Each structure stands twice: as structure tokens, then as C-alpha cells.
Amino acid sequence: MDDRTYTADAEPGDTVTVAGWVHEVRDLGGIAFLILRDTTGKIQVKFEVEEMDDDLVETGLNVHRESVISVTGDVEEEPRAPTGVEVTPASVDVISEADPELPLDPSGKVDAELSTRLDNRTLDLRKDEVKAIFEIRAEVLRAVREQFRELGCTEINTPKIVATGTEGGTELFPITYFGQEAFMNQSPQLFKQLMVGSGLERVFEIGPIFRAEEHNTPRHLNEATSIDFESAFADHTEAMDACEAVVKAAYEAVEENCQDELVALDLADEFEAPEGDFPRLTYEEAIERINATGELDEPLVWGDDLPTEGEHALGQDVGEHYFITDWPSEIKPFYIMDKDDEVSTGFDMMHPEMELVSGGQREHRYDHLVDGFEQQGLDPEAFDYYTKMFKYGMPPHAGWGLGGERLIMTMLGLGNIREAVLFPRDRQRLSP
């Protein structure tokens, strides 16, 4: 698009104009090197102080780090240069001068706290290993959408401003909407279900969700990216198959297309796409295995939700992605179909470190669904826009929601989920 040459494309013998950021200037006396960085890499620019025009040398050696410049000159082979080539400049143009004091060092030589990094994301993303996270994130989204299309899904976009939350009034951000009370949606759950009863039958959505949870942990966000799937005429086992296919497709695409990024993150050797089927443990097996690890002070009993330490102990024990199925009905949402009086079709898909996915077959029977709302203490009337469609031919259906940032975080072993978001939102952070 722009007519500069990317640094990665500069070949010996070419005369090029390269443009980007001043990564570093090393003045060795009679000779000086400026390292120019652009999105494709870095290139060495050589200044021979005695032999070159004074203005040119002065410009090149006095420009502040992280300024934007363009350099025109001949590319020559130079085995001692980092990329094997260097540019001898005929002209240097300072396009956008940087302040000499930077709030963050993009060369990475000086470590920065996460909060400083997030306050200065523009500079932070000039580091190869940070940029790599977001190149991988983009590739994951691409691969996931492609896999959904292979599964026969239609992409949908559902509203983020809603009259009611999915599971009632807790944990919702209220909005003033033309004088009416409204909320930012915490999940596309109800809308994607409405779509499986339409002619679309099988849908996916990747979009923002908003949760007013007062968590303050390394794995919760108040605005996150949800990857949602829902299919007519599917049961929970088929939804699990789709879930496994999507997660594997994400890993495989990163393995295939992001080797440079994995190198930048120092993950090239250890990164592996999951192979084989994800084990499917029942809830009962899960609590038995957790109890057997002896990691919990109190053994778990039927009906307990899994505490974080329990999830962690089980994750260590299993050592790969796995499902937990056959959850007690009472700890799964009312819109999940029950298998019998005690056990539901709900499932979770787990990375050894944390839960990634929650799903199940849905309750598609109108009377049961309305009863569910009432048992939950919710007013079915308020959800009439949703429930009434269940009276007009709603097929059996199943689906799930996958936390996009958790997928990236666990895939890349990031210590904090905020590292997987350009501009995270939490209780303390509202800008940038």
C-alpha cells in the first residue's frame, strides 16, 4: 500500500526507502549504526561519520529512539549485521520525532509492570513478544471461524444492548437507553437459541460480552470475547465434538502459521496442538479423582461445585484438555436440559489450568423452560420475547460458549488474562 520497502524485503543490490521506528543507535566513533524497525523486522543503517554529509550524519545519530523516520539508500550484504544486510543511507527523513523520555522501553531491556504496559499499549506492542500475542490472537479468530463454517454454521451478530440479562439481573452493567433501563449483554445465549429455531439452524458468533462481576483475578475480565456455538438437532455429545474441533483447529492453525510468533514468545519448542480425543470424565469421576489427589482439606461430595484448587488438582492429574459431563442439575443453569432428576446434559471443557467452555443441550420444551425461570426466581414475563418462540416449533438443540481470552491465555501460557486483550477492562481500568 505505502511505497516504502518493508525491512524484511530489502535485498542486497536494491535501492530502497525503508520507514519505521528508531530501535537503537550505536555510535562507535568513526562509524555508527541505527537499527530501524518496522512491522516485518529490523534493518541496520550504517553511518560512516567522516565520509558522509554532516547533516545526514547529524540527523541519523541525534534522532531520539522510537522516532519515526524513513531512510533511502543502497542495501548491501553485511554478514555482521543482525539480518545479514545493511543500508548505506543517501537520505534520512525524520517523520515523527519521539520525546526522549519514554514511559516504557519498547526494546524490552527495561522490564515494565503490567499496568504500565497497559497504560502504554502502543509502545508495549512494539515489542516482538507482545505483538506476537495479538498476531496469534488474530490467527486463532480466523481459524475458529473457518472451522465453524466447516461445521456448517452461519455467522450471526446479536445485540449487545438488551432489556434483560441471560440469567437475570445480577452482574449486569446498567445503561440509560432513551430513558429506559437496559443492560449490556452478558452472553448471546438467548439470541443464539432463538436462531436455531429459525431457518439458520446452526450458528456461531464471536463478540464482546460484559460482566459486572467484582472479581479481581488474573483470569477474569469485565469485558471479554465470547466464542459461541449453537446447533439445532444436536445433543450435548455433538456439541462437545464441535467444541473439540474448534479448539483443535485454533491450535493447529497457530502451529502451522505462527512459527515466527511462537519463536518471539519462546514457545516454538514446547508448543503442541492437542492430539487424540479430549477425555470425557463424568462429574462423579471428576470429584473422585480430585478427592484421590488429597489436595483438598475437605473431600468433595455430590452436588458441590468444583473449587479452583479442585479444578487445578484435576487438571494436573489429567494433563490435557478434557470435558466434565453429567453435572448435577442443581448447579447448572435452568436452560440446560436434564438427563433425569439428578443429572444434566451440561458440560464444561477444561484446560489443565482452568475452565474454557460451558455448554450443554438446551431445554426446548416451552412448559419446562417457563417453569425453569420461575424456579430461578425470575419473572418469565420479562423473558417473553424469548420464551414465546418456543411455542412455535423449537427443535432440540445444544451449544456452548468459549472464552476467547482464556483460550489465548492457556494456549500461550500467559500469566494474566489481561495480556491477551489490547485494552482490558476491569474494576480499576477504564482507559485507554
Binding flag, residue 292, its own copies (CB under 8 A):
no
Contact yes or no for 56/19 (Cβ under 8 A)? no
220 is catalytic: yes
214 is catalytic: no
Selected catalytic residue, list 76, 320, 355, 429: 355
Binding flag, residue 39, its own copies (CB under 8 A):
yes
Choose one: 36-44, 280-288, 319-327, 369-377; the region binding its own copies (CB under 8 A). 36-44
Among positions 234, 258, 286, 402, the unique one binding its own copies when judged by CB under 8 A: 234
Binding flag, residue 364, its own copies (CB under 8 A):
yes
**Spatial separation of the C-alpha atoms in residues 259 and 271, rounded to whole Å:** 10
How open is the CA angle 13-15-17, to the nearest 5 degrees? Answer: 140
Binding flag, residue 222, its own copies (CB under 8 A):
yes
Choose one: 28-36, 49-57, 114-122, 294-302; the region binding its own copies (CB under 8 A). 114-122
Annotation: binding site for L-aspartate:
167, 211, 358, 362
Among positions 72, 173, 268, 339, the unique one binding its own copies when judged by CB under 8 A: 173
Among positions 58, 108, 160, 289, the unique one binding its own copies when judged by CB under 8 A: 160
205 is catalytic: no
Question: Which distant-in-sequence residues (6+ apart) come within 8 Å of 426 by Cβ?
Answer: 216, 220, 221, 222, 418
Binding flag, residue 52, its own copies (CB under 8 A):
no
**Spatial separation of the C-alpha atoms in residues 13 and 2, rounded to whole Å:** 21
Among positions 29, 79, 96, 375, the unique one binding its own copies when judged by CB under 8 A: 96
Annotation: binding site for Mg(2+):
355, 358
107 is catalytic: no
Binding flag, residue 25, its own copies (CB under 8 A):
no
Among positions 150, 169, 331, 391, the unique one binding its own copies when judged by CB under 8 A: 391
**Spatial separation of the C-alpha atoms in residues 186 and 212, rounded to whole Å:** 9
**Spatial separation of the C-alpha atoms in residues 394 and 364, rounded to whole Å:** 6
Choose one: 231-239, 279-287, 340-348, 354-362; the region binding its own copies (CB under 8 A). 231-239
Q: Which helix (H) or strand (E) holds 69?
A: strand 68-77
CA distances from residue 158 to 224, 251, 375 in whole angstroms, order as listed: 15, 27, 27
289 is catalytic: no
**Spatial separation of the C-alpha atoms in residues 252 and 140, rounded to whole Å:** 9
406 is catalytic: yes
Contact yes or no for 253/140 (Cβ under 8 A)? yes
Binding flag, residue 244, its own copies (CB under 8 A):
no
Selected catalytic residue, list 65, 397, 406, 418: 406
| Beta carbon of residue 139, minimum distance to its own copies (angstroms, whole number) | 9
> What cell was used for 30?
568513526
Pairing of strands 322-325, 280-282: parallel
**Spatial separation of the C-alpha atoms in residues 9 and 165, rounded to whole Å:** 51
Binding flag, residue 105, its own copies (CB under 8 A):
no
Contact yes or no for 193/362 (Cβ under 8 A)? yes
Selected catalytic residue, list 211, 236, 364, 397: 211
Q: Which string of x and - marks every residue 306-345 that binds its own copies (by CB under 8 A)?
A: ----------------------------------------
Contact yes or no for 383/374 (Cβ under 8 A)? no
Among positions 225, 329, 345, 358, the unique one binding its own copies when judged by CB under 8 A: 225
Query: Cell 529512539, residue?
Result: 65
Taking each continuous run of H as one helix and of E as one strand, the counts in the chain are: 12, 16
Number of Cβ within 10 Å of residue 138's Cβ equals: 11
Binding flag, residue 21, its own copies (CB under 8 A):
yes
418 is catalytic: no
Binding flag, residue 248, its own copies (CB under 8 A):
no
**Spatial separation of the C-alpha atoms in residues 252 and 258, rounded to whole Å:** 10
Selected catalytic residue, list 24, 171, 213, 238: 213
Assign residue 146 a region (left: φ > 0; alpha: ψ between -120 and 50; beta: otherwise).
alpha
Binding flag, residue 8, its own copies (CB under 8 A):
no
Task: Give whichever of 67 and 88 is closer to its own copies, judged by the CB atom.
Answer: 67
- Active site members: 211, 213, 219-220, 355, 358, 406
